[in-house]
Amino acid sequence: MLSALAVDPEQGLDGEEAARRRASVGPNALKAAGGVDPAAIFLGQFRDFMVLVLLAATFISGLLGEFVDAVAILTILLLNAFLGFVQEYRAERALEALGKMAAPKAEVVRDGRRALVPAEDVVPGDVVVLKAGDRVPADVRLLWTEGLLVDEAPLTGESVPVEKRAPAVLPAPRPLGDRTNMAFMGTLILKGRATGVAVATGMATEMGKIADLIALTEETDTPLKRRIRHLGRVLVWIAVALTAAVTGLGVLDGYPFEEMFLLGVTLAVAAIPEGLPTIVTVVLALGVSRMQKKKALVRRLPAVETLGSTTFIGTDKTGTLTLNRMTLVQGRTAGGAFFVSGSGYRPEGGFFLDPERTAPFDPEERPEVMALLTYGVLASEARLLPPETGDRTEGPKRPAGRFRWLGLRRKAREAAPSGWRIDGDPTEGAIVVAARKAGLDEEALRRRKRAKVLPFDSVRRRMSIVYEVGGGRGVLAAKGAFEAILDRSAAIFDGGAVRRLGDAERRRWAEEAEAMAAAGLRVLAVAYREGPLERLRGLEDEAELVFVGLVGLIDPPRPDVPAAIRTVQAAHIRVAMITGDHRETARAIAADLGILRPTGRVLTGEDLRRLDGKALSRLAVETDVFARVAPEDKLRIVQALRAAGHIVAMTGDGTNDAPALKAADIGIAMGQSGTEVAKEAADVVLLDDHFATIEAAVEEGRTIYENVRKFVRYLLASNVAEIMVMLVAFALKWPVPLTPLMILWINLVTDGLPALALGLDPMERDVMNRPPISPSESLFARGLGWKILSRGALITGVTLWAFSERLAAGAPLGEAQTVAFATLIVAQLVHVFDARNERSLFDRSPLDNVPLVLSVLVSFALVVLVIAWPPAARIFGAVPLSAEDWLRVIGYSAAPFVLLGLFGRLSSGRPARPEA
Ligand code: ATP
């Protein structure tokens, strides 16, 4: 089969061959991804009913001889459509890119190296590496397996996990569920590891054969967008009713019906905020790409909004709050305590009898210390890599056994500053480094044949490896959480001899371990067992171990975490640490980081299991640390917090975390240490696994929501003003203040760019000093509705004032209309700056949103253009304005906002936002 697919299992395909096969068989996907269709988006701009009516009206007036008007209206409509098109196209492209970023990855061997590639790029013949938590990317013929257990429910509907074994040649054909030497696309690796060769990809897989039945729709609608669309529908009717009123009043005033009809329809087109949903999409999509720059990958768009509403963050400890760069600093054996110097993964340091590290000793003279380190190394798979060599995608440099490079469980997340790196789990790395300091070499120790692995998982909290030692005998080396190992130890290794471990002594060891944990150390116990190989091989669980001792590891906190935690707490968000580590270790680190408050509670997984749902809800809200929790406890914590009314963000990395991530309002997966399954279940993926990134994402979420409110305010106040100016003028039996073309131009100039720039407003300084946004809050809450009406009325007022003042001064109607036109636009352009602030125009410098300033300048230039450029002016019915008129326009437009701004500044003491 390998030769049929022309692949060497050690080398994998080479890059060129893979690219060639990709080109000939196509992407490894179940459905050809439909790209963005620009033409459809452009035509979509004319979907709007009122725009169609206007087109018809324009066409008729064109037939009636109003050519210039008709052409001008058409031009403006086209410009408008173009603007809408650019925005929508950009949004769609951004969403498409988002989909690509969030696409699943697969690990393959190419050119002799392991590489992470998009699952879409897997081709037949690729050597695929599978481990617990992966989703199988293609139909894979297994070459090598270790304890592989697969959940095939996605394919067969059969929920009982299937054991797979390789190599096995089976008489074909068999039912899928019985083909134990194959792993099928879309199924889930629950346990173990494997490699295999992809034999079918894309629609040729078993999954592909049934994929026609599966509709793959991605949710890109968000609650906010739905609300905005609903709002839009309501506003359409209001706008239609008001414009009908304008037309009616105009006709009653004696204007000809055709003229009034065109005016009314124009007004309706201008006043309907048809751009709202698109701008929301653009703002969300651009917010998403901004978050991505900050290392938070948003997989589902609604998460952006929910982030802004988050009230509780439950975070993992290791790697998220800490560096996950472990160093073994002390140990305890039957012979007493010892301490180790050195930092990071550099294998340099000495052994000491005292914590101050003044009394050195030679570990080789202490058999219990050597045993502790030796069995610790034997129970581990991590390797130490010297500086500059062995990039993590490279295979080992030294001659190693077949498939040796599979020995990875967790990748080192950070290279130590010294340049020494760990290939594998950092906890194990710390033990390996300490062993090197004692002169032990992990490669040499592990040269014996491995007979069995009892793998680590966060429920068992221990792992063991069985080695053959010859003569039909074997040795099992075990390490794990100290309770897990102590409970399974029957004897203790004491200076070369083995004696029984009594209950009293066991308790004393537990106390020692707790004391180490209380100092913030991660504590592991090491043990072993010797016996006939077959006996050891048959073990399903560790038992009758010989206890050797304890090791204590430090894992320094990430330096910027305490500040991030303070910021989050100031933002009225509760933070709790949720960890598999020991209660005392968790407590010490949480106190250090500022998570554990003096009155805060610490609960363990055991406590949780004793509490019913209600009691848990009550206690969970005041708990700062959840320790020794298993993944299913995490799910209960999420449910309890949500039942208590919290909007919960929860982090996770393992397959077992997926239910908790799904149940949380915001599931957050780790990008580096996380499994594919956890990422699939998550709304957000932290590309750097870092807590501070959650803080940044919440900040963005809040900013985006506020920005949506800002441009809703701006756009609606503008529309209110446009309609009110006409309505009031007709009600007062004044002449028509604006021509249809002017109205369309106002719409074009003010609705497009400035609104978008407002949607991208940078974060306000105090976003993280406010309470979270309540998800049930109306878009118009916190005074926004009032602001829209009052600012709309102000703009109406100054426009009508400017208009009537010119008329009263005896100016011709054309001049008064021009002044009204200019005033209405300029007032809106001033209002856009007012809309950026809750309180006062002067709270923020306009220069921190340069695009907004530029878009306002462009808009202003467009007004000047149609007034001062005679051919345009003629079409628009405008007349050139004197310098004095321009001053008047600017003065009238700006005055009320400046006054309001000053007043807002003076009336300090009022909080920027009332407490929720
Ligand atoms: P979190 O990432 O949620 O903060 P954690 O990473 O600290 O949790 P786990 O990885 O589930 O927690 O580890 C739980 C316990 O299992 C640890 O306290 C440690 O005692 C033990 N342990 C961790 N890694 C290993 C390992 N590689 N082998 C054996 N035991 C381990």
Q: Is 252:207 a contact under the CB 8 Å cutoff?
A: no
For 343, residues 6+ apart whose C-beta sits below 8 A from its C-beta are 327, 349
Please give the full DSSP string across 246-259, using - where no structure is assigned. HHHHHHHTT--HHH
Q: Say if residue 578 is in the same domain as residue 660.
A: yes
State in Å: Cα 131 to ligand 1 middle. 18
Q: Say if residue 659 is in the same domain as residue 514.
A: no
Q: Say if residue 727 is in the same domain as residue 792.
A: yes
Minimum CA distance residue for ligand 1 atom 5 = 580
- Is 228 among the domain residues? no
Q: Give the C-alpha separation, 321 to 367, whole Å.
A: 36
- Annotated active-site residue 316? The verdict is yes
Question: Which one has a higher pLDDT value, 399 or 599?
Answer: 599
For a mutational test of ligand 1's pocket, the pick from 316, 380, 383, 461, i.e. the residue with the most ligand atoms closer than 8 A to its C-beta, is 461
pLDDT at 254 over 60: yes
> Residue 270: which pLDDT band, with cuts at 50, 70 and 90?
confident
Minimum CA distance residue for ligand 1 atom 16 = 461
Minimum CA distance residue for ligand 1 atom 19 = 481
State in Å: Cα 322 to ligand 1 middle. 13
Average pLDDT on 673-677 reads 86
> Residue 376: which pLDDT band, with cuts at 50, 70 and 90?
very high
State in Å: Cα 328 to ligand 1 middle. 14
pLDDT score, position 407: 36
Minimum CA distance residue for ligand 1 atom 2 = 318
Minimum CA distance residue for ligand 1 atom 18 = 581
Q: Within 6 Å (CB) of ligand 1, which residues are found? A: 316-318, 425, 427-428, 456, 458, 461-463, 479-481, 522, 524, 579-582
Q: Give the C-alpha separation, 184 to 176, whole Å.
A: 9
Q: Say if residue 201 is in the same domain as residue 305.
A: no
Average pLDDT on 862-866 reads 91
Q: Which of 521, 549, 577 is the last residue of a domain?
A: 549
pLDDT score, position 625: 97
For residue 168, give its domain range.
Answer: 15-31+103-211
Q: Say if residue 505 is in the same domain as residue 606.
A: no
Q: What is the pLDDT of residues 510-548, one digit of tens each?
A: 999 999 999 999 999 999 999 999 999 988 899 999 999
pLDDT at 632 over 80: yes
pLDDT score, position 825: 94
| CA nearest to 708, candidates 112, 355, 201, 278 | 278
Convert 137-193 into a string of H (helix), E (strand) and C (coil). Answer: CCEEEEEEEEEEEEECHHHHCCCCCEEECCCCCCCCCCCHHHCCCEECCCCEEEEEE
For the domain that residue 629 is a member of, what is the CATH number? 3.40.50.1000
Q: Give the C-alpha separation, 608 to 605, whole Å.
A: 5
Q: What is the pLDDT of residues 455-503, one digit of tens each?
A: 888 888 999 999 999 899 999 999 999 999 999 999 999 977 899 999 9
Q: Say if residue 312 is in the same domain as residue 379.
A: no
Closest atom of ligand 1 relative to the 324 alpha carbon: 6
State in Å: Cα 649 to ligand 1 middle. 22
State in Å: Cα 580 to ligand 1 middle. 6
Closest atom of ligand 1 relative to the 582 alpha carbon: 18
For the domain that residue 389 is a member of, what is the CATH number? 3.40.1110.10
For a mutational test of ligand 1's pocket, the pick from 410, 456, 589, 653, i.e. the residue with the most ligand atoms closer than 8 A to its C-beta, is 456
For a mutational test of ligand 1's pocket, the pick from 321, 523, 581, i.e. the residue with the most ligand atoms closer than 8 A to its C-beta, is 581
Residue among 69, 139, 151, 316 flagged as catalytic: 316
Q: How far is CA 332 from the centre of its chain?
A: 42
Average pLDDT on 158-166 reads 82
Question: Which one has a higher pLDDT value, 63 or 774?
Answer: 774
Minimum CA distance residue for ligand 1 atom 9 = 580
Question: Which one has a higher pLDDT value, 158 or 687?
Answer: 687
Q: Say if residue 565 is in the same domain as residue 541.
A: no
| CA nearest to 132, candidates 376, 458, 451 | 458
Please give the full DSSP string across 656-679, using - where no structure is assigned. GGHHHHHHSSEEEEETTT--HHHH
Q: What is the pLDDT of residues 878-916, one digit of tens each?
A: 888 889 999 999 998 888 888 887 777 666 544 444 333
> Residue 218: which pLDDT band, with cuts at 50, 70 and 90?
very low
Question: Which one has a higher pLDDT value, 31 or 653?
Answer: 653
Look up residue 204 and give its amino acid. A
pLDDT at 25 over 70: yes
Q: Say if residue 515 is in the same domain as residue 604.
A: no
State in Å: Cα 384 to ligand 1 middle. 19
- Is 445 among the domain residues? yes
Q: Say if residue 739 is in the same domain as residue 853.
A: yes
Which range is least confidently modeled, 16-30, 53-67, 333-347, 470-484?
A: 53-67
State in Å: Cα 455 to ligand 1 middle. 12
pLDDT at 176 over 90: no
- Is 913 among the domain residues? no
Indicate if the alpha-carbon torsion angle 24, 28, 31, 34 is positive or negative.
Answer: negative
Give the angle subtended at the CA of 17 by the CAs of 14 and 23, to the nearest 5°: 140
The Cα-based distances of 612 to 84, 439, 616, 638 in angstroms read 54, 52, 6, 14
| CA nearest to 489, candidates 453, 529, 523 | 529
Q: Give the C-alpha separation, 542 to 458, whole Å.
A: 15
pLDDT at 231 over 70: yes
- Is 662 among the domain residues? yes
- Is 60 among the domain residues? no
The Cα-based distances of 282 to 81, 292, 756 in angstroms read 16, 15, 8
For the domain that residue 107 is a member of, what is the CATH number? 2.70.150.10
> Residue 819: which pLDDT band, with cuts at 50, 70 and 90?
very high
- Is 84 among the domain residues? no
Q: Which of 689, 720, 748 is the last residue of a domain?
A: 689
pLDDT score, position 911: 45
| CA nearest to 82, candidates 41, 48, 52 | 41
Average pLDDT on 327-355 reads 94
- Is 867 among the domain residues? yes
pLDDT at 12 over 70: yes
Minimum CA distance residue for ligand 1 atom 30 = 480
Q: How many domains does the chain have?
A: 4
Q: Say if residue 785 is in the same domain as residue 713.
A: yes
| CA nearest to 872, candidates 742, 736, 722 | 742
Judge if the upstream peptide bond of residue 173 is cis by omega within 30 degrees of 0: yes
Q: Give the C-alpha separation, 711 to 761, whole Å.
A: 10
pLDDT at 261 over 80: yes
Closest atom of ligand 1 relative to the 628 alpha carbon: 14
pLDDT score, position 175: 58
Q: Say if residue 738 is in the same domain as residue 769.
A: yes
Minimum CA distance residue for ligand 1 atom 31 = 480
Look up residue 807 and give its amino acid. L
CB under 8 Å, gap of 24 or more: what pairs does 175-180 form? Answer: 176/152, 176/206, 177/152
For the domain that residue 758 is a member of, what is the CATH number? 1.20.1110.10
For a mutational test of ligand 1's pocket, the pick from 522, 524, 628, 633, i.e. the residue with the most ligand atoms closer than 8 A to its C-beta, is 524
Q: Is 832:758 a contact under the CB 8 Å cutoff?
A: yes
Q: Which of 524, 549, 574 is the last residue of a domain?
A: 549
State in Å: Cα 460 to ligand 1 middle. 10
> Residue 388: which pLDDT band, with cuts at 50, 70 and 90?
low
Residue with the two structure tokens 């701008």? 279
pLDDT score, position 347: 93
Q: Say if residue 545 is in the same domain as residue 496.
A: yes
Look up residue 908 and give its amino acid. S
Average pLDDT, the chain: 85
pLDDT score, position 417: 55
Q: How many CA atoms lie within 13 A of 357 on its CB side?
A: 9
Closest atom of ligand 1 relative to the 580 alpha carbon: 12
Average pLDDT on 322-331 reads 94
For 830, residues 6+ apart whose C-beta sits below 8 A from its C-beta are 893, 894, 897
- Is 83 among the domain residues? no
The Cα-based distances of 506 to 333, 489, 549 in angstroms read 13, 9, 11
